[in-house]
Structure formats: C-alpha cells, structure tokens
C-alpha cells in the first residue's frame, strides 16, 4: 500500500537535455553545410575567374625585308670567302731581305719583282765562275792549236804518236773543264735569280709577311727567319666555301642558283652558283663542303669575309639573275581571312589587335605585305579560330 502512496511525480520524463542535443546537432549540420557551400562557391569562382582571365598562348613572328629569291630559298648555309688561287710567296734561297717593293693591297702582275735578298756573295761567286769560264775558253783555244800542230807534224814525221795523243788528251781535258765552268756559271745565275722574289701570277697583295732587314729562308728554317715574304691572291678566283649539313646535301646540285650575302654588307646581295661539291664529308661536323662562285661582284668582296649562301630551288632559277628590291614579307601562317579581308594580329596591352593588310606575291611559305605593316613589326603566327580581336594573349 505504501507503493501506491509513493510520489508519482518522480516518474516524470525529463526532455530538456534531449531537446538541447537535437538542436545542437541541427546547428552543426547547418553550419557544416554552409561552410561546404562557401568552399564550393569559392572554388567555383576561382575556376570561373581563371577561365575568364586565362590568356591564349601565342608565338610571334617578325615582318622582314627580303628579296623574292630569299623568300623562295630552300635553305641557307654559312661560310667564308676564299681565294681559290692564293700563294704565300717565298724565296728559294736564304739571305737578308734588302728590298721589298709592295705593300698590302698592291696589284701585281705575273713575274713582277716583289722583293730582293742580299746578293753580293752570289754575285761574287758568279763573277768567279764567269772568269774561270773565260780562262778555260782561252786554254781551249791554245789546246786546240797545239793539237792541230801535233797532227800536222806527225804527218811529216817530225813528231811521234805519243805527242799527238798527249795533245789530244789535253784538248779534251780543257773541253771538259769548259763544260764544268759553264755549269758553274749557270748555277751562279740560278742562285742570283733565287735572290729575286717574283709574283707567280697576277693578283693582289693580301699580307706583308717580312720586313727589310729580316732573314728569309725556305720554309722558315729557323725561329729567327721568315718563310714567306708576301701573300698574294687572284681576286678573280674568289668563291664562298660553305658547310652544308649531310641532311641537306641532296638538295644541292651543280650550277644551282643562289644568293650570297656578306655579313659586312647585309643589305646587299650577289648572285651566285654552285661551282663544286667537294666529294668528301667532314665526320666531325657531319657537313659537306660546297664551293659557290660569284656571277658578279665588286671590290667590297674580300677574302676571309664571312658570308651566307641562300640556295634556291629549280622553280626560282631566274630570280637571282636580276637585281631585285627587297619586299616586306611574313609567313602565310600569320595571315587570316576574316569577313572577306586579310588580317594579321599584333599585341597591344597583352591583347590581340586585328590589323587589316593588303597582300601581294606568294613565295612558297611567305607572302608579300604591301600595306598594313612595316619592317620589324611583330605579328602572331599560326592564326587559329580562337584568335580574335581583343583576346587576352601571352607570348610563349
């Protein structure tokens, strides 16, 4: 009965903690959802912003002045101007240089005297040889008269055969001595000629290799002597010797047209042709030497100048035969047709800007630009449909 009388209020369910716990969970869920939504929104914004602000990567090409022949070139090779007829002129004899009659740049003719060595000792030896020859010739006359007298006396019985034989032997001995004396005179004359240094061919003096007072010896026999006196070259034999890679040598053929441009005069070109393909390769450089002759050239072309040779194809055979003015060209890949107009794109403030151009002749991969650009302007190459006016770009 006591149980019945107990306070039943203690059996009341307390819902306050459970309700608070439920509210807390709902709040956490809401906050978490908001954070995730914010992160996703920020991530999406960054992606969208990056997409909107990303720049198209482009490559630039420069508008340049070229002749039509250069625009039709197969490939280009570098080399040097070399005289095919060139000589370091030296002396056959050894002696001190006493006369030098030329300086750099002088034009000389074949067999012209360029220099002389001291010749006093050679002259003395030659004079001695000539005097000996005169003496022997005089002795020969006496020996001949004596031989004739002995033969006449022998016929009359006034002398013996032994005397005749002795006179003949003396005559032959003197005759042999004369031959020796003549050889000595000739040797002296050659030695004297060897003191005179002459031009082996007509040409131009390139360098002066010795000065008056220095010892000159064949092949520079000692450290204190000079071998060559001057170096001359035949300027009509100038050619460009260019190294062509083995991968391009099949494009070269005899008499092929080309243009030669000297590095010293980049604005001027000379017409040329393939004169010779040397039948051997350089294994260290994997190149073949090709000699390119000048069809015309002037006094500005000098030996050892560096040059560039532009080899032309068969379709360009007549392009280098006439003097042509350079024209402004760009690759055809830098030109697009938009709304029926030829345009190119330049870059200003990191944006592509459309520029209308008027084109002219087509040269293989190049196109002439008659108006709209000037020499040195840079335009976007490899134009695609993505390239539009105002597009944000960056140079690769």
- The answer to whether residues 212 and 99 touch, using CB atoms and an 8 Å cutoff, is yes
* C-beta atoms surrounding 199 within 10 Å: 20
Nearest CA among 210, 255, 245 for reference residue 230:
210
| Residues in CB range of 202: below 8 A, 6 or more apart | 107, 108, 109, 110, 234
| Residues in CB range of 249: below 8 A, 6 or more apart | 277, 288, 290
In angstroms, what CA-CA distances link 215 with 33, 61, 99, 121? 103, 60, 12, 15
- The answer to whether residues 301 and 294 touch, using CB atoms and an 8 Å cutoff, is yes
**CA distance linking residue 290 with residue 248, whole number of Å:** 11
- The answer to whether residues 316 and 74 touch, using CB atoms and an 8 Å cutoff, is no
CB crowding 248-270: b at 16 or more within 10 Å, else e: beeebeeebbbbbbbeeeeeebb
Please state whether the predicted TM-score (pTM) of the whole model is above 0.75: no
| Per-residue pLDDT at 154 | 86
* Three-state secondary structure call for residue 370: strand
* C-beta atoms surrounding 392 within 10 Å: 13
Q: Which residue has the tokens 């532009």?
A: 310
**CA distance linking residue 343 with residue 212, whole number of Å:** 70
* Three-state secondary structure call for residue 388: coil
**CA distance linking residue 212 with residue 197, whole number of Å:** 13
Nearest CA among 47, 37, 85 for reference residue 199:
85
Helix 120-156 and helix 161-194, axial crossing angle in degrees, nearest 10: 160
Q: Is the dihedral of CA 118, 120, 123, 124 positive or negative?
A: negative
pLDDT in tens, the chain (396 residues): 444 454 545 555 555 554 555 556 666 777 777 777 776 766 655 555 444 456 788 889 898 877 666 666 778 899 999 999 999 998 888 889 999 999 999 999 999 999 999 998 889 999 999 998 888 888 888 888 888 888 888 888 888 899 888 888 988 888 888 899 999 999 999 989 989 999 999 999 999 989 999 888 876 555 556 778 999 999 999 999 999 999 999 999 999 989 899 999 887 889 999 999 999 999 999 999 999 999 988 989 999 999 999 898 776 555 544 445 678 888 889 999 888 899 999 989 888 899 999 998 887 678 889 889 988 899 999 888 888 888 888 887
Residue 363 β-bridge partners = 366
Q: Are strands 351-356 and 358-363 parallel, antiparallel or unpaired?
A: unpaired
| Per-residue pLDDT at 365 | 78
The DSSP-derived string for 193-255 is HHTEEE-SSSEEEEEE---TTSEE-TT--STTEESEEEEEE-GGGEEEEEEEETTTGGG--TT
**CA distance linking residue 387 with residue 367, whole number of Å:** 20
* Three-state secondary structure call for residue 159: coil
**CA distance linking residue 321 with residue 318, whole number of Å:** 5
| Per-residue pLDDT at 127 | 92
| Per-residue pLDDT at 269 | 84
**CA distance linking residue 286 with residue 180, whole number of Å:** 60
| Per-residue pLDDT at 314 | 74
Phi and psi based region of residue 373 (left: phi greater than 0; alpha: psi -120 to 50; beta: remaining): beta
Element (H, E) at 136: helix 120-156
- The answer to whether residues 314 and 308 touch, using CB atoms and an 8 Å cutoff, is no
| Per-residue pLDDT at 232 | 95
Chain centroid, CA 209 distance in Å? 25
Burial class for 391, CB neighbours closer than 10 Å (0-12, 13-18, 19+): middle
**What's the chain's length in residues?**
396
Q: What share of the chain is helix, strand, coil (3-state, %, to 5)?
A: 35, 35, 30
């Amino acid at each position: 009965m006591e149980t019945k009388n107990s306070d039943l209020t203690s059996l009341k369910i307390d819902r306050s903690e459970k309700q608070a716990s439920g509210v807390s969970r709902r709040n956490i869920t809401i906050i978490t959802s908001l954070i995730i939504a914010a992160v996703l929104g920020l991530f999406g914004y960054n992606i969208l912003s990056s997409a909107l602000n990303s720049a198209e990567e482009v490559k630039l090409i420069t508008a340049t002045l070229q002749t039509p022949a250069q625009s039709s070139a197969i490939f280009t090779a570098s080399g040097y101007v070399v005289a095919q007829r060139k000589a370091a002129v030296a002396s056959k004899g050894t002696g001190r240089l006493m006369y030098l009659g030329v300086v750099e740049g002088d034009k000389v003719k074949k067999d012209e005297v360029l220099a002389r060595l001291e010749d006093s000792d050679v002259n003395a030896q030659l004079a001695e040889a000539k005097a000996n020859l005169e003496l022997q010739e005089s002795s020969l006359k006496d020996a001949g008269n004596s031989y004739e007298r002995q033969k006449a006396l022998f016929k009359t019985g006034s002398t013996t055969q032994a005397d005749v034989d002795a006179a003949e032997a003396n005559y032959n001995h003197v005759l042999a001595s004369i031959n020796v004396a003549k050889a000595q005179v000739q040797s002296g004359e050659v030695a004297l000629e060897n003191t005179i240094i002459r031009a082996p061919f007509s040409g131009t003096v390139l360098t002066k290799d010795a000065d008056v007072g220095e010892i000159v010896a064949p092949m520079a026999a000692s450290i204190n002597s000079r071998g060559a006196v001057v170096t001359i070259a035949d300027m009509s034999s100038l050619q460009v010797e260019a190294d062509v890679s083995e991968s391009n040598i099949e494009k070269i053929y005899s008499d092929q047209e080309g243009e030669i441009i000297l590095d010293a005069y980049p604005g001027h070109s000379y017409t040329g042709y393939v004169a010779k393909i040397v039948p051997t390769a350089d294994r260290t450089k994997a190149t073949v030497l090709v000699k390119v002759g000048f069809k015309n050239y002037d006094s500005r072309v000098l030996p050892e100048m560096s040059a560039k040779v532009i080899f032309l194809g068969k379709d360009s055979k007549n392009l280098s035969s006439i003097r042509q003015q350079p024209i402004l060209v760009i690759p055809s890949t830098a030109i697009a047709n938009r709304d029926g107009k030829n345009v190119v794109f330049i870059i200003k403030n990191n944006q592509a800007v459309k520029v209308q151009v008027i084109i002219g002749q087509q040269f293989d991969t190049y196109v002439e630009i008659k108006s709209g650009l000037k020499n040195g302007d840079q335009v976007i190459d490899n134009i695609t449909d993505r390239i539009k006016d105002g597009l944000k770009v960056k140079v690769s």
